[in-house]
Structures are given as C-alpha cells and as structure tokens.
Chains A and B, each alone.
Chain A
Amino acid sequence: MTSQTARPRSFQDIILRLQSYWAEQGCAIMQPYDMEVGAGTFHPATTLRSLGTRPWAAAYVQPSRRPTDGRYGENPNRLQHYYQYQVLIKPSPPDLQDLYLGSLKAIGIDMALHDIRFVEDDWESPTLGAWGLGWEVWCDGMEVSQFTYFQQVGGHDCHPVSGELTYGLERLAMYVLGIDHVMDMPFNDPDARIPLSYGDVFRQTEEEYSRWNFDIADTDILLRHFQEAEAECEAILTQAHHDPKTDKRIVMAHPAYDQCIKASHIFNLLDARGVISVTERQAYIGRVRALARKCADAFVLTEAGGYPAP
C-alpha cells in the first residue's frame, strides 16, 4: 500500500486511504449494500441505523445509480453509476468536523495550501422522509463532500443525532489527482503491471446502461415491479411480530426496507424513461416515502432499533 505521506496515485488509492482512516477512527468498515440505490444514504447502515438510541459508527463505499445522469461515458463529470463514500456516526461526536478534515489530509489535501469551507446546504430526501442541517464542503471552490446532522429519518426525530458524511468519490479523486475527464483517471496504480483507467473499467458500461436507461427499459415491466415491491413491502410489515415457527419475536424491518429501496430505484428508472409527468412524480415520491416511513416505524420496534426502549 502507498505510504500515507506520499500523494495518492489512483482512484482506488484514495478509497483505500479513506477506508483505513475511518477504520482508525473506530468505524466499522462495511461493504456496499447489495442492491441498486441512488445514494449511500439508502444503505440500511445509514437509513435504518440512524434511527433509535443505539450507538453506531460505520463507513463504506456505496456504488450508486442515477439513471437520468447517464451521458454514454462522454461527459467529463457525469455518470449514471458512480461511487459514494459514506460515514455515519451516532451520536455525532463533538469533533466530527476535525475528524472530517483529518480524512481530507489522509487523501493528500494539504490544509495549509487549500481553502476549505463549510457552506450552508441543508439536506433533505423526500423519498426517505428525511432531513438534516449541515454544509457542502468546498475545497478551492469545488464541492467535495456533504456534511449533515440528521434531524429526522422516515418521519422519526433522530435521538441521538447522527453525523453523516458523503464524499462524491470520482469528483474528489479527480481533483486530488488533477484529472480533467473521469474516464482518464487511473483506477489502479499507473505503474501497475496492468494499469487500468476508470474508462477501462466503466466506459462501456456507461454506454450500455445509458442506452438501456433512456430507451430500452420496459416501462410496463417496471411499473409492475414498482407495484409489486410496494405491495410486498406492506405485506411484510403487516405480519405479526411473533414467528410461530421459532416462537420468537421477529420484526422484518430489513426485508421490508429492501422492497422500499427497490421501489425507489424503479421510480428512478421510470423517471429516466420519461414516462412520469410532473404531477405523477410527486405522487410516486409520496408512495416511496410512505414505505420508508413504515420501515422506520418497524425498525424502531427491533433490537437494533433500540427496542425495548430503556
């Protein structure tokens, strides 16, 4: 592994440094959630774990998909599939800003040379029924992270409050590495036996998915999937908490939440296909939010959600 003092040389170097930095700060380094999501926030390690009273500290990379942002791999900054780095600590520690600045240092940003600023930017996710206050963090005028103190998730007030950090990995890495087009960014070390660029890894998939997202995805199937996910989510949550087979109390918050994630992603695909009108949009977002709310209601009735309340 590259030494921490030398400048990072590749995309993965930056990810590895963030992983080891946040591991040193005591976070559980988790793996990406194995479902299609629009942002790292959707990972249950953030959405659900920010609820309830039990302390939590996790960091992970989350591949994220935003079908409408597809540009066939041609735009230097826009991708329909990209990576977010996500940190969630509950309760938010008093030195979270300093911890965050430490992470920038770890990836080679010299605080004495750069202009780091915390600029007001309040976050809200209408689909998750969540909001918080915080900033976008600027480095020399470029937004490199989102920094949020969660106040409400799934319609529940957060007690205690979680601190959430989200890094847009490609943009941050391009800035640190001095790259102008994302596809030109070294993915592994440029001196590796087989050097690979971001484009080597993702140019083709960006093209394929852009075409599918915009023109091919079967909207009838998607609409049906949306309804099925919605129905399944609700069906799961109406089950009795007592499992007759094991004679245990099992509230199935996570399986229900998977269906909520699925519905949310299908909505994004339908949006990219341009079949959702402005008025329908609000209605769909409201339906996903209703699911998220019910999943949050269920999660706080589980052990991880702090049940029974002390």
Chain B
Amino acid sequence: MPNLLIELFSEEIPARMQARAAQDLQKRMTDGLVEAGLTYGGARAFSTPRRIALAIEDLLAASPTIREERKGPRTDAPDKAIEGFLRGAGLTRDQLEQRDTPKGAVYFATIEKPGRPAAAIVAEVLEQTIRNFPWPKSMRWGEGSLRWVRPLHSILCILSTEEGAETVPFEIDGITAGNTTRGHRFMGAAPFAVTGFDDYAAKLKRAHVILDAEERAGHILHEAQNRAFASGFELFEDRGLLAEVAGLVEWPVVLMGEIGADFLDLPPEVLQTSMREHQKFFSLRNPKTGRIERFITVANIETPDHGATILAGNQKVLAARLSDAKFFWENDLRTIREKGLEGMAAGLSDVTFHNKLGSQADRIKRIEALAREIAPMVGAKPDLAAEAARVAKADLQSEMVGEFPELQGVMGRYYAQAAGHDDGVPEACEEHYKPLGPGDAVPTNPVSVAVALADKIDTLTGFWAIDEKPTGSKDPYALRRAALGVIRLVLGNGLRVSIADIAEKALGRSVFAREIAIARQDDQPFMADDLERNFPNASIPGEDSEKVPDLLAFIHDRLKVHLRDEGIRHDVIDACLAMEGNDDLTLLVNRAEALSAFLKTDDGDNLLQGFKRANNILTQAEEKDGVEYSFGADVKFAETDEEKALFAALDSAEPEIASAMKAEDFAAAMAAMAQLRAPTDAFFEAVQVNAENEVLRRNRLNLLSRIRTLCLSVADLTRIQG
C-alpha cells in the first residue's frame, strides 16, 4: 500500500498558527480520504515557519468498487416512470433485470461504482482542503484569488511504494504539485526531489530544517538548559515562549547573552517581561544573587562567527529596550520619593473609569470606603485595608505600567514597598486584581482579600447602577469574571459575609457616582454641589435598592455555573438557594455540598421520594379541603405500629436536626434526616393516609406535615428533580 506525503510550502506562517494548521491539514485530508473510501494505516502532521506537511502511511491504492442494487417500477409501469428510473440509475433498459415479486414483475438495477485510484482522490481532497482551509486570517496575493495564510509557493504531493514515487497530478491557481521542496532560506542550497517521508525528513535536515516542532522545541530547551547549567545559571522555563520560538525558526541556534550591569537592579519581572514580550528571550537567573543576569536568544542560522554578530545586535536592541525600562523605573521611584504613592495616583482623577461613573480616582474612594467596611469581616485591620485601597491602583499612573500594561499590580507591589508601606499593603497592591480567571489563585492575605472584594463588588454595583449588565455573549466590562472573583474570594477563604449587605453599601456609592456624573455632564454645577452637600458620605443609600436582589441573582447564576463545574446539580443548588441567608455563599455551598452528597446515598434518594409523596398527598388534600395541615398530629390517634414508629422517629429527629441546623452542621442534619427514611417507607407501606375516619385522616395529614416541615428546614426539597 502506498504512502502519501504532502507539503504546502509558503512564506512565513505566524508562529501561533502553525500547530493548529498542521492538525487541520491532517484532519481535513484524512476525513476527506476516508469519506471517499481510502482508508489508511497512520498519519502525522508537521509544521515549520515555512511549511505544513502531512505523511500518511498505508493508504489504499484505490477506493473499493461499490455495488448497489435499486428496486425500480413494475415492468408494466408507464414509460415515463421507467425512463425516470433509468436516468436516476444511469443505465439503459437492457441493463435492467426483471424479477417476480408478490406485487408483480419489477425492474431491478445493479449500479456499480468502480473504485478510483488514490491519486485522483488525493487531488480532489487536497483541492478542497486548500480552498477551505480554516486559517484564523488569510489573504490573497499577486493577481490570484486563492487564499492562504501568506503566499503559497509550492506543493509537494507524492504517493510512494517500494517500486518508487509518483507525483500526484494536481494543480491549483497556477501552482502545480511536484516532488521537490526547499530547505533553509539561507543555509539550504537548491531545491531537491524526495521519494518518501523518510527521505524528505532526512534531506530537510541536511538542508538545515528540523521538520518536527517538538524536536525543535526539545532541542532549544536542552541547549538552553545546557548553556545555563555550564555557566551556573538557572533557566526560567516558559512553555508558551518555547512553543512560539520553535515556530519562528527552522534551524534553532541557541545563543546566550549578558544583560548589561546597568540593568541588573531592575525588578526581575520587568526584565523578564521586556525580554519575553519584545525580544522573545528566555531569562536566566543567577542562583547566588537571585537576579536575572543572562538571556537566551534563539537564532535561525549558523554563522562563521558563531553568532557573535547576531548576539551583539540582540544585546544592543535589548540595551535600548532596558534603557527605556530603567528610565521609567527611576522616574517612577523619583515621583514616589517626591510625592509618595498618593502623589503618583493623583493623575487618576483625570482618567475616566466610565463616563457615567466618573474617574478612576472617584472609584478608588468608593473602594477605599468599602474595603474599610469589609475589613473586619475578613480579619483585616480597617485602616490597613483603606490604606491599601488608596494606593493599590497608583501604579496605573506609573511610566512603567504605561509601557508594560501586563506589569500592573506587580509594579504596584514594588512601588508600595519603595514608598515604605508594609503590613500586607504591598501584597494587596499586586493581589487585589485576583483572581483573574477560573484558574488564577485566590489571595488569602486579609488586606488583599478586603481590597479585592471591594474592587470587584464596586465594579458590579457600578455597572448595575448604570444598567450595563452583560447580555448574551456580550460582557465588555468582564462582569461575569468579577462575580466569579467574588465567589472564589468568599469560598476560597471560607468567609461568612452577607453579600447583599456589602452590595447594598456599595450600590449607595455607585448611585451617588452616577448622579454626580450626570450632574456634571449636564453642566449644572449647582446640581453637583447640592448632591455633595446632601450626601456628605458620597452615598445615596436605599436608592435603586431593587438592584441588590438582581445583582445577587446574577452572582447566584455564576455560582451555579461554578458549582456545576464542581459536579453539583443545578436543582440541588436551587433547593439551597430557596433557603434563607442565601447571600452567605459559604453557608449556601456547605448546604449544597451536604445535600448533593446526601442525595447520592440510598437513604437520601429514598427519603426524597418519601418527602415528595408526603408533599403530594398534603398538597392535594390542602387544595381539596382549603386548609393547611400543619399542626396537631397526636400519637394517641396512631393505629398501627408503623404510624407510631414514625411519630417516634420524628420526635427524635426534630431536635437533632434543629440543633445541627443551628450549628450549621448540614452533614449532621442530613444524617438525622436519613434516619427518617425507614419509618417513612414503612408508614407509606402500611398506612392509608386518606382514611374514611376524618379524625384519623386529619391526624395523618398533620403527621405528614411534620415530615414536610422538617425536611424543608434543611433545604427546599420540592425543587429537586426526579
């Protein structure tokens, strides 16, 4: 069986697209071939900056012949019908077969689709693949209309067997497939012909191209580690950067350079960010000094001077970059020395946060007030939380963050330390943005937690105040992420706080901010003055208070998504959400986890059925009788042992559950509930609730209501499905 080799050779493919492109080539080709009847043994795809390639082993040499039998009209059917059948089958009447069936003589056609040689099928599938290739961005070039990621130059497409290789006849927009390719742009010589995959990979290597991106990455990592080790340094491993760099070179040459002594005192994050983002350098740390002192760059060429010119150039570019960074760092430190962090933050009053909510400085005041209120709930000192909130965003005004926005927070920590802040304040400057996403760590330092919560809740109430809630897939202010941040901060730290209370306080300030912004925009200074005089705390409490439950519902929705990811069903969460105190997220989740575990047990599931049965009977009776059965069940009217046993079980479970609930020990409450399962089952087995005797019936209904009340005190089981 032949092997197929395809290479699509183009101008430089963006590094971030290469791996995916190789996978897409493999998937689209193999899907198309299999659909056309060509099965295969194995397939592998490859990418370099200038090519994507696919090697398929043991492909069928031709697709199998397919025979299909079709039943046609009766032989005495009108000519029109028979002609139609012939057209559909592509046959003439003499090729049909007559067969007797219970419905009379009927025509049958046997259609034979002959197999086709692999080359013809490969050409068709390749054309479809190239024309419909899912590049994230594609382009045209020259006078052509073909689209590719960058101009496509040549196509290699061969089928090879032990007898030799044959080029698949194929042409697309003036490019004719052949059996040749090219090596490295500068180190490869003339184009060369190949006879199969092994020959291809070997000749490429001779022409200074490593075909396999994994191999290139492995080589880079190995060499970089060796260089680092030999000089007594440690390599900062960076998977993302490694993959990117492996996509920028066909022949990686690892070079190690020095960072000028002038720059060694810059924070390591600054060195690393500048080197990674701008130059694609890896950082090397000196374990003795703890500083980043060297870098690794990966060139795409071997030179007679062993990279000396390349390294000198790279060092020069780096020095220019780091001079900028050092200039920013020193300017920022000078600003802090002269004016303090608050001085640095002063410019934030000119930065608009949102035109309906005022400036960043206004927002920081709100966060400060809220952080002060939250502090005691999370074990932080109010003054420290307020101090941290005041300076946490000062670094947004620093020159360094202006140049490297990704360093926001990190620079805040350095600058807070430089300004003499202590006691968790510098950490809060860095951590108050966290957690940024589902995978990001949750801060635990109490000052950080207070400011982080205040930051996120203010964001939420602010956009709620101006009716900018997320809709559908649109969430331009990342409010879902903010809500998830609140949830993870609370749960991650086991905080016992009322989100509704905090949100209410925050909303009052957000509404004030909105009103001031409106007043200022309308150019009526007296209105703004009035507002400030009437609300000296910069808060309008109670206004728009319906937004608090709405926001809480939004947070609950995010919590459902979060818990679903943790394996808790949405109806279980609904059952707990229906209980009082549902804005205490820790309590809510404890309850949901206990209930979820309980329902997975046999007792739990059966008790649920018992509860539902009791509830149904009760509801029907209550509807029919127009009364609520809730009180007065008396054991003296109990007739059977089962009935008496249920009274006894309830008598013992009720106080047990009540005290467990008081202690918020949901597991113990559920365990106590589990003891009701057997007596409840036995009761329903032996006793008819709707007895003839009205006294007995009422008593039994009231007994059921005890089960209902007890169960509902733990969670709203009516919401559980199944």
Q: Tell me the A residues contacting B by CB distance below 8 Å.
A: 76-77, 91-94, 97, 111-120, 122, 132-135, 139-142, 149, 151, 158-161, 163, 175, 180, 278-279
B355 in contact with A279 (CB, 8 Å): yes
Task: Indicate if the CB atoms of A112 and B320 lie closer than 8 Å.
Answer: no
By the criterion CB–CB under 8 Å, are B142 and A135 in contact? no
Q: Which 4 A-B pairs rank lowest in CB-CB distance, beginning with the nearest?
A: A140-B313, A120-B14, A118-B12, A141-B314
Compute how far the CA of A139 lies from the CA of B139 in the bound complex, rounded to whole angstroms: 25
B293-301, B334-342, B423-431 - the one binding chain A: B293-301
Contact with A along B350-384 (1 / 0, CB 8 A): 00100100000000000000000000000000000
Closest to B186 in A: A111
Within the complex, what minimum Cβ distance (angstroms) separates B14 from chain A? 4
User: CA–CA, A134 to B140, complex, Å?
Assistant: 11
A76 and B320: CB pair below 8 A? Answer: yes
Contact with A along B137-165 (1 / 0, CB 8 A): 10111110000011101000000000000
- Note all chain B residues with C-beta closer than 8 A to A180: 316
A76 to B355 CA separation, bound complex (whole angstroms): 38
Q: How far is the CA of A116 from the CA of B313 in the complex (A)?
A: 12
Tell me if B309 and A114 are in contact (CB < 8 A): yes
Fill in one digit per residue for B311-329: 1 if any A CB lies within 8 Å of its CB, else 0.
Answer: 0111011101000000000
Known: A93-B142, A114-B303, A115-B310. 11 other contacts (CB 8 A): A76-B320, A91-B142, A113-B304, A113-B305, A115-B301, A116-B186, A122-B137, A140-B314, A141-B317, A149-B141, A151-B140
CA of A141 to CA of B257 in the docked complex: distance in angstroms? 13
Known: A77-B320, A117-B300, A133-B150. A142 touches B141 (CB 8 A): no
CB<8 Å pairs between A and B, sample of 23: A91-B141, A94-B142, A94-B151, A111-B186, A112-B301, A113-B305, A114-B303, A114-B310, A115-B310, A116-B186, A117-B12, A117-B249, A119-B248, A122-B137, A133-B150, A141-B314, A142-B317, A149-B139, A149-B150, A158-B140, A159-B140, A160-B142, A161-B143
Cα-based distance from A161 to B11 in the complex (angstroms): 16
Decide if B279 is an interface residue (CB 8 Å cutoff). Answer: yes
Q: Is the CB of A175 within 8 A of B313?
A: yes
* Residues 1-18 (chain B) with a chain A CB within 8 angstroms: 11-12, 14-16
Least CB distance, A223 to chain B, in whole angstroms:
20
A149 to chain B, nearest CB (A): 5
Q: Chain B residues with Cβ under 8 A from A160's Cβ?
A: 142-143
Q: What is the minimal beta-carbon distance from B521 to any residue of chain A, in angstroms?
A: 12
Which residues on B sit within 8 Å (CB–CB) of A91?
Answer: 141-143
Q: Which single member of B153, B299, B316, B318 contacts A115 (CB below 8 Å)?
A: B299
The answer to whether A115 and B300 touch (CB under 8 A), given A76-B320, A140-B314, is yes
Chain A residues whose CB sits within 8 angstroms of the CB of B314 once the complex forms: 140-141
Selected contact of A141 from candidates B11, B150, B313, CB within 8 Å: B313
Closest beta carbon of chain B to A12's beta carbon, Å: 23
Nearest CB in chain B to that of A133: its residue: B139
Given contacts A91-B142, A117-B300, contact A135 B12 (CB under 8 A): yes
Q: Which residues of A have CB within 8 Å of B150? A: 133-134, 149
B139 and A140 form a contact (CB under 8 A): no
* A117 CA to B186 CA, complexed, in Å: 11
B352 touches A278 (CB 8 A): yes
| Smallest CB gap from A118: residue in B | B12
B3 to chain A, nearest CB (A): 30
In the complex, what distance in Å separates the CA atom of A161 from the CA atom of B148?
13
A112–B309 alpha-carbon span in the complex (Å): 10
- Residues of A contacting B186 in the complex (Cβ-Cβ under 8 angstroms): 111-112, 116
Q: B181 to nearest A CB, angstroms? A: 16
Residues of B within 8 A of A140 (CB): 309-310, 312-314, 317
Q: How far is the CA of A76 from the CA of B323 in the complex (A)?
A: 11
* A111-B309 Cα distance, complex, nearest whole Å: 11
Residue on B with the closest CB to A140? Answer: B313
Q: Produce 1/0 per residue, B30-71, CB < 8 A to A.
A: 000000000000000000010000000000000000000000
Which chain A residue has the least Cβ–Cβ distance from B313? A140
A282 to chain B, nearest CB (A): 13
* Known A-B contacts A119-B248, A141-B318; A113 and B303 likewise in contact (beta carbons under 8 Å): yes
User: 0/1 per residue, B250-289, Cβ < 8 Å to A?
Assistant: 0000000000000000000000000000010000000000
CB-CB under 8 A from B279, the residues of chain A are 141
Q: Assess whether B309 is in contact with A149, with CB atoms less than 8 Å apart.
A: no
Complex Cα spacing A278 to B151, Å? 38
Q: How far is the CA of A176 from the CA of B327 in the complex (A)?
A: 26
Q: Which residue of A lies closest to B255 (CB)?
A: A115
- Of all chain B residues, the one with the shortest Cβ separation from A110 is B309
B283 CB to nearest chain A CB (Å): 15
CA–CA, A160 to B140, complex, Å?
Answer: 8
Question: Measured between C-beta atoms, what is the minimum distance from A253 to chain B in Å?
Answer: 23
Residues in A with CB closer than 8 Å to B248 are 117, 119
Contact of B142 among A141, A151, A161, A278 (CB under 8 A): A161
Does A120 contact B352, Cβ atoms closer than 8 Å? Answer: no
A193 to chain B, nearest CB (A): 32
Q: Is the CB of B12 within 8 A of A139?
A: no
Cβ–Cβ < 8 Å partners of A161 in chain B: 139-143
Q: Which residues of chain B are near A122, meaning CB under 8 Å?
A: 137
Which residues of B sit under 8 angstroms from A111, Cβ to Cβ?
Answer: 186
A92 to B14, CA, bound (A): 20
CB closest residue in chain B, given A111:
B186
Collect the chain A residues with CB atoms within 8 Å of residue B141's CB. Answer: 91-92, 149, 161, 163
Return A86 CB to nearest CB of chain B, in Å.
19
Which residues in B have their C-beta under 8 angstroms from that of A158? 140
Are A113 and B14 interface neighbours, CB within 8 A?
no
Q: Which residue from chain B places its CB closest to the CB of A119 in the assembled complex? A: B248
Question: Which one of B149, B301, B318 has the highest number of Cβ atoms from chain A below 10 Å of its Cβ?
Answer: B301
Q: Which of B481-508 contact A (CB under 8 A)?
A: none
Question: What residues of chain B lie closer than 8 Å to A115, measured between beta carbons?
Answer: 299-301, 303, 310, 313
What are the residues of chain A within 8 A of B352 when measuring CB–CB? 278
Nearest chain A CB to B632 CB, angstrom units: 69
Q: Which residues of A contact B297 (CB under 8 A)?
A: 141
Residues of B within 8 Å of A113, CB to CB, are 303-305, 309-310
Closest Cβ–Cβ distance, residue A104 to chain B (whole Å):
12
Chain B residues with CB below 8 A from A112, complex form: 186, 301, 303-304
CB distance from B657 to the nearest CB of A (A): 59
List, in ascending order, chain B residues with CB within 8 A of A134's CB. 150
Q: Inside 8 A of A151's CB, which chain B residues have their CB?
A: 139-140
Report B50 CB to chain A, min CB distance, Å. 9
Instruction: Give the chain A neighbours of B151 by CB distance below 8 A.
Output: 92, 94, 149
**Interfacial chain A residues near B249, Cβ < 8 Å:** 117
Question: Once bound together, how far apart are the Cα atoms of A151 and B142, in whole Å?
Answer: 11
CB-based nearest B residue for A278: B352
Kindly list chain B residues whose C-beta atoms are within 8 Å of the C-beta of A77. Answer: 320
For A135, list chain B residues within 8 Å (CB). Answer: 12
Q: B240 → chain A, closest Cβ, in Å?
A: 15
Q: Which residues of A contact B318 (CB under 8 A)?
A: 141
Q: Bound state CA distance, A184 and B510, in angstroms?
A: 56
Q: How close is B682's CB to chain A, nearest CB, in angstroms? A: 73
Rounded to whole Å, the gap between the CB of A77 and the closest CB of chain B is 7
Q: Hey, which chain A residues are within 8 Å of B139, CB to CB?
A: 132-133, 149, 151, 161
The A-contacting residues of B in range 162-198, CB under 8 angstroms, are 186
B12: nearest chain-A partner, CB-CB: A118
Of A112, A132, A279, chain B has the most CB atoms within 10 Å of the CB of: A112
Complexed CA–CA distance, A93 and B142 (Å)? 6
CA distance A132 to B151 in the complex (A): 13
Nearest neighbor of A97 in chain B, beta-carbon distance:
B11
Q: Find chain A residues with CB under 8 A from B310 CB.
A: 113-115, 140-141
- Identify which of A94, A120, A279 contacts B16 (C-beta below 8 A): A120
What's the Cα separation between A114 and B301 when bound, in Å?
A: 8
- The complex places the Cα of A17 from the Cα of B126 at a distance, in Å, of 44
**Chain A hits for B149, CB < 8 A:** 133
Q: In the complex, A89→B208 CA distance in Å?
A: 32
CA of A112 to CA of B186, assembled, Å: 7
- Docked pose: A141 CA to B299 CA in angstroms: 9
Bound CA–CA A59/B151 (angstroms): 22
